[in-house]
Amino acid sequence: MKISYLFHILLILFFAVCNHDCHPQCLDYLPPFEPSSPLQFCVNYRDYGCCDNRLEERIKWDYKYMARDMNSNVSLKILKDILCLQCHPYAAHVFDAESGTDRHSTFQKSHMRFPGLCRDYCYKLFEEQRDVLLKLAINKDFVQFINSTNATEFCDWAQIGDLNYCYPDLDNTTASKESVQIYHKDQLCVEPISGPHFANALVAVHSNDQSHRLFVGEQRGLVFVILPNGTKIEKPFLNITDKIVNSGVPWDERGFLGLVFHPEYKTNGRFFVYYSAPAQGLNRDEFSHSKWYWGTKHRIRISEYTVHPDHPNMADHSSELPLLEIDQPEPNHNGGMLLFGTDGYLYVFVGDGGGSGDQHGIHGNGLLMSTMLGKILRIDVNVEHKKYGIPKDNPFVNFRNVKDEIYALGIRNTWRCSVDLKGNGRMFCGDVGQNRFEEINIIKKGRNYGWRAYEGFSCFDKDLCRRELKNLEFPIIAYPHSVGRSIVGGYVYRGCQNPNMYGKYFFADTMNGKIFSAEENPGTGKWDYREIKIGDEKFCNNGFSSVYHKAILSFGESESGEIYLLSTPNPHPDFEGSVLFRLVDPLRRNDPKQCVTRVIEAKPIKTIKRRAIFEKYQKEKDKVMKSGEGDGKAKCRDSGSFCKHYRPTKRRKKPLLSCLKTKHLSKRYCPVTCNFCPK
């Protein structure tokens, strides 16, 4: 027990000396990991290192082969320890794999690398256990080199560039992931996604169909497909640039803002978009790329599309069915997020309409229940013959002068939300602040998130703060503008590659490029957050990077749960400089065999174009409403009763079609053809 404790202390002291330059890395240049089952041969690395059980078996086989005619227990132990160095968390450094020197090129046909030896130990090994060196000989030339040289010449060759990693001074004790990580706490790296850049990429989502494609949406209205191997398909999946409103000015908040795929996309091919469109009666050509337009010049549009029935990497552009449109009084605070909850309903995150301080209306839009601005909406897109339905348990259904679609209120400008599917389906949203605070909220039914009465935990409008606001919900996190000035909501990490990140919520700030992680205290329910540092080039290398563009525009998530940053050096809608960076932990990964992903190639989907069905329904309904033909003859689909036609009156200007249940009227109105009975 005392010896083990002493080894642990020595290991920690070593890492303290190494500081951030000691970057744990395996011979494949990836982070160490915890094997799926503890190692039985290289027991110093049984719980953490660079070997899975398969590699350990290969080392064990090499050991048995090399040790077949060795009799010295001392030599056998040295042989085993040196072979097992391949499992060391710092194996890439021990074997000098990163240096780029010609140390190993001396013997080109080597099938294994030779570890760096500390000089005093090397002299002793050369003089007393040369048989071990001969067993480790990587080819005949190396055998000749050992037999023909002296200790000084051999040990000069056996030196590595960084003596902090020479064996056995580096470590011949039990490796500990806690010891490795204690001096690299809150440091991550980024991994650039290969392929060309994008123009202000704001969206990176997957289609949940096991194809593991990533769909990247640009602000100007293009959506591209990135295949699992990182290849970008050059022809856009979706091109609605001719429908998008954007001035072409940096930081313009209008454009293509949101994309989500239906939970059953694999079989129905449906997806939904959120974008800025010209206001009613205006032509897109009226929006100059050289002039900023204020006032009611655009509206939010939520539309449904389907994938092309013959081309899985292309949308059917003729299938657009606009579901919802909301006029915007100002060019900013457009919201932009679309999500499907675990309940199967579509959530729409709408900003307060813009301007400064939510000045529209007596109390602003955020708290005004007769408008959808400043709200989170919930609608049912799985209904027939209607664009969408209202879930029966929406919290404000049938309230007077209240929009039935409203799920939550008091929102300023939610910028990026996510659903934690493995965390009870909780929804996390970043809400951009006004003058003092940025906030993260967990969205709950019927709750009031305070704007414009409150900004974060602070009172913004004193008159409104004095009132008793019902169902008030304060943020789980709020930071002042001394920390950051424009929050970007992110994701709870649920991927496989980075176990140290699992269960943490990652978010960022656009204005200064800071990245944060947050965790809930299970005892108190309170959330603690801290800034994540990106390591330097010594810490982040061999495919990992220490550099990313500081203007973080959004986050994305892959089908396997990996998290991406979408950032740019210039937030201009037409500047093709946006890059996707995957967040990675260079200290630890999962056992590679646990993270194998099954990729199913996307295939054509037999889709139903709801737009055509809806248009046919509307024509039929309009025709019947005007004529009133066939009243009292056809059956209503839902109730089994009959349709009744009522002629217009002085008070009711239009004819009324109702379903009759025996002698009593139902609340349903329907066309007399009665193939469908809309509410």
pLDDT value at 176 more than 80: no
pLDDT value at 663 more than 50: no
Q: What pLDDT band is residue 290 in, cutting at 50, 70 and 90? A: very low
Give the residues across from 582 on adjacent strands.
191, 564
Minimum mean pLDDT range among 375-389, 411-425, 642-656: 642-656
The predicted-structure confidence for 122-157, as pLDDT tens digits, reads as follows 999 999 999 999 888 767 888 888 899 999 999 998
Query: Cα(43)–Cα(26) distance, rounded to whole angstroms?
Result: 17
Query: 526-529 long-range contacts, Cβ below 8 Å, gap at least 24?
Result: 526/476, 527/440, 527/476, 527/477, 529/477, 529/479
Residue 624 has what pLDDT? 58
Residue 137 has what pLDDT? 78
Is 270 or 664 the better-scoring residue by pLDDT?
A: 270
Residue 513 burial (CB count, 10 A): 16
Query: Cα(488)–Cα(495) distance, rounded to whole angstroms?
Result: 20
Is 178 or 242 the better-scoring residue by pLDDT?
A: 242
The predicted-structure confidence for 530-571, as pLDDT tens digits, reads as follows 999 999 888 898 889 999 999 999 999 999 999 999 999 999
Work out the angle at residue 364's Cα, subtended by the Cα atoms of residues 282 and 326, and round it to the nearest 5 degrees.
30
In the predicted model, what is the mean pLDDT of the chain?
85
Query: Cα(91)–Cα(99) distance, rounded to whole angstroms?
Result: 13
Query: Cα(181)–Cα(184) distance, rounded to whole angstroms?
Result: 5
Query: Cα(141)–Cα(624) distance, rounded to whole angstroms?
Result: 94
The predicted-structure confidence for 353-397, as pLDDT tens digits, reads as follows 998 999 998 889 999 999 999 999 999 999 987 899 999 999 999
Query: Residue 88 in contact with residue 94, Cβ under 8 Å?
Result: yes
Residue 504 has what pLDDT? 97
Which domains does the chain show, CATH number per domain? 21-182 (no CATH), 187-610 (2.120.10.30)
The mean pLDDT value for 490-504 works out to 96
Phi, psi (5° rounding) for residue 481? -70, -5
Residue 634 has what pLDDT? 39
Query: Residue 630 in contact with residue 623, Cβ under 8 Å?
Result: no
Which residues lie closer than 8 Å to 58 by C-beta, 6 or more apart?
none
The predicted-structure confidence for 601-633, as pLDDT tens digits, reads as follows 999 998 887 888 777 777 776 665 555 444 433
Query: Cα(261)–Cα(305) distance, rounded to whole angstroms?
Result: 10
Give the residues across from 644 on adjacent strands.
658
**Total residues found in the chain within this entry:** 679
Query: Cα(333)–Cα(382) distance, rounded to whole angstroms?
Result: 29
pLDDT value at 638 more than 50: no
Query: Residue 245 in contact with residue 284, Cβ under 8 Å?
Result: yes
Residue 609 has what pLDDT? 79
Torsion of CA 39, 42, 44, 49, to 10 degrees: -70
Give the residues across from 191 on adjacent strands.
582
